[in-house]
Amino acid sequence: MNRLLVAILLSLTPVLAHSATYYIGKTGSDSYNCVQAQSASSPKLTIKAGLACLSGGDTLIIKAGTYNEVISGGAIPSGTSDTVRTRVQAAPGETVIVGGLDVYSRSFITVSGLITDGWSIHIGRGSISDPPSTYITLENVTARNWPGGGTGGAGISLGTRQDGVSSYLKLINCSAHHNGSTKLDHGVYVSPRDSIIDGGSFYNNSGHGIHAYSGYGAGQIDNLVVKNVIAHDNGSFGILIGSGRNLIAYNNIVYGNGRLVSGAGGIRTGFGSESAKIYNNTIYNNMGVCVRVEGQSTNAVVRNNICWQNSNNNVSDGTGTAVVSNNLYKDPSFVNASGFNFALSRNSAAIDAGANVSEVKEDFSGVQRPQGSAFDIGAFELSSPPTNLRLVAGN
């Protein structure tokens, strides 16, 4: 190939912009310019100043400390694709507390490792006329001690009850605890469609641990997945999946809920939900019913769940048409329930007693299903050696 042709080809090859990383720290100064703030030794002092340096696809690393600032509105620029995300994250292994987190009308953003204490987190859109938020991920984020107000809020809100357009929002290994003061204040409130809650702990909230509901009804909160979470000691139900189509909750560990609301317990579906699936959950020692299918639901399926030592140790089907099968209502022989280890002992009646369901490919701890001739019932599949997992709460 001659040199002229090579030169022409090189001139036509796009030059990819290199994403930059910026730093914030309590020893920093906002007098440092954005070039200097790309070094951990010369960070910006405030989150506001650090965010001002960002372009789409950049990363902002916040070092340890308490920052009495709200990361609000459109302060974080959108990324450009799922592989070119803008990231705002705590420095690895360091505790970062911020004065609130609101991400409105943005896309392709990941927020990681931040804690709000006494403040809430909102992802969605600011008003009914704003564009939606899409492809926003929170990883290892904690919302705690939000005082609430009894108006249907939460420590973490994905959308609002009227946000029928935001979509593809994710909580990965997050925590919401000790939030709210009434049964209308929840750990997490979910309303957008195609959202995922995977892992994490949701506990000691005044209302539900996780409350999925949209004021727009079915069609706006479709395809929600809630899996591998621990929901315990909440005032109402541990988990509600409601008002959407094709909702699924599986491999969740739900215990000790219903302490403030009479009859509340483990998991519920309703409010116009269609084809909700409640699979392979361990539902233990709740104050009310194990699983409740509300009368407004259609085509619900409740399968492979352990219901043990709940005050009402049943699946309550208000529709009379739900498919209810392969649930265990007797002692499942946990390894150590008093120590919060809900793995199965080798003599458990749950082993190989479940129905095989295609949506649940692994158990709570990542063990492939099935290990035997059929699925085990509950959140854990017996593995060799047996899983020995003590469940520990979040920050």
Cα 189 from Cα 140, distance rounded (Å): 17
Domain assignment of residue 233, yes or no: yes
Three-state SS at 50: helix
Residue 354: how many CA atoms within 13 Å on its side-chain side? 30
Whether the per-residue pLDDT at 231 is higher than 70: the answer is: yes
Pairing mode, strands 341-344 and 334-336: antiparallel
Instruction: Determine which of 15-29, 41-55, 130-144, 158-172 has the lowest per-residue pLDDT on average.
Output: 158-172
Cα 296 from Cα 294, distance rounded (Å): 5
Pairing mode, strands 59-62 and 21-24: parallel
Cα 379 from Cα 252, distance rounded (Å): 6
Mean pLDDT of the chain: 91
Identify whether residues 105 and 148 lie together within a single domain: no
Identify whether residues 239 and 377 lie together within a single domain: yes
Q: Domain end: 67, 83, 110, which one?
A: 110
CATH at residue 132:
2.160.20.10
Identify whether residues 156 and 279 lie together within a single domain: yes
Q: Domain end: 78, 110, 142, which one?
A: 110
Sign of the dihedral defined by the CA atoms of residues 271, 195, 53, 99, in that order:
positive
Task: Give me the pLDDT at residue 15, please.
Answer: 42
Number of helical H runs and strand E runs in the chain: 2, 31
Cα 214 from Cα 321, distance rounded (Å): 23
The number of folded domains in the chain is 2
Identify whether residues 336 and 380 lie together within a single domain: yes
Domain that holds residue 320: 126-395
Domain assignment of residue 314, yes or no: yes
Domain assignment of residue 276, yes or no: yes
Q: How far is CA 172 from the centre of its chain?
A: 5
Domain assignment of residue 8, yes or no: no
How many CB atoms lie under 10 A from the CB of residue 325? 12
256: left (phi over 0), alpha (psi -120 to 50) or beta: left
Q: Over range 110-127, report the average pLDDT.
A: 92
Q: How far is CA 45 from CA 69, 117, 256, in A?
A: 12, 20, 43
More confident residue, 347 or 131: 347
Domain assignment of residue 38, yes or no: yes
Domain assignment of residue 27, yes or no: yes
Cα 388 from Cα 22, distance rounded (Å): 41
Reference 293, options 322, 314, 265; nearest CA is 322
Instruction: Determine which of 53-57, 73-77, 78-82, 351-355 has the lowest per-residue pLDDT on average.
Output: 73-77
More confident residue, 114 or 213: 114
Place of tokens 């994490």: 200
CA dihedral of residues 172, 263, 306, 344 (deg, nearest 10): 70
- pLDDT confidence tier of residue 159, bands split at 50, 70 and 90: confident
161, 215 in Cβ contact below 8 A? yes
Domain assignment of residue 23, yes or no: yes
Q: How far is CA 25 from the centre of its chain?
A: 28
Q: What pLDDT digit, counting tens, does each position of 19-28 carry?
A: 999 999 999 9
Identify whether residues 83 and 140 lie together within a single domain: no
Reference 168, options 148, 192, 151, 188; nearest CA is 192
Q: What pLDDT digit, counting tens, does each position of 300-323 carry?
A: 999 999 999 999 999 999 999 999
Tokens of 42: 């010369």
What are the phi and psi torsion angles at 11 (to 5°)? -70, -25
Q: How far is CA 61 from CA 74, 86, 87, 169, in A?
A: 18, 11, 8, 22
Cis peptide leading into residue 92 (ω within 30°): no
Residue 146: how many CA atoms within 13 Å on its side-chain side? 37
Domain assignment of residue 79, yes or no: yes
Q: Over range 75-100, report the average pLDDT.
A: 96
Identify whether residues 349 and 258 lie together within a single domain: yes
Cα 218 from Cα 297, distance rounded (Å): 10
Identify whether residues 161 and 100 lie together within a single domain: no
Identify whether residues 164 and 296 lie together within a single domain: yes
Q: Domain end: 81, 110, 139, which one?
A: 110
Q: Over range 339-344, report the average pLDDT.
A: 92
Task: Give me the pLDDT at residue 214, please.
Answer: 83
- pLDDT confidence tier of residue 124, bands split at 50, 70 and 90: confident
Cα 310 from Cα 334, distance rounded (Å): 15
Identify whether residues 168 and 224 lie together within a single domain: yes
Task: Give me the pLDDT at residue 136, please.
Answer: 96
Identify whether residues 225 and 97 lie together within a single domain: no
Q: Over range 194-202, report the average pLDDT.
A: 97
Identify whether residues 177 and 106 lie together within a single domain: no
More confident residue, 33 or 11: 33
Cα 181 from Cα 177, distance rounded (Å): 12
Of how many residues is the chain composed?
Answer: 395
Identify whether residues 255 and 378 lie together within a single domain: yes
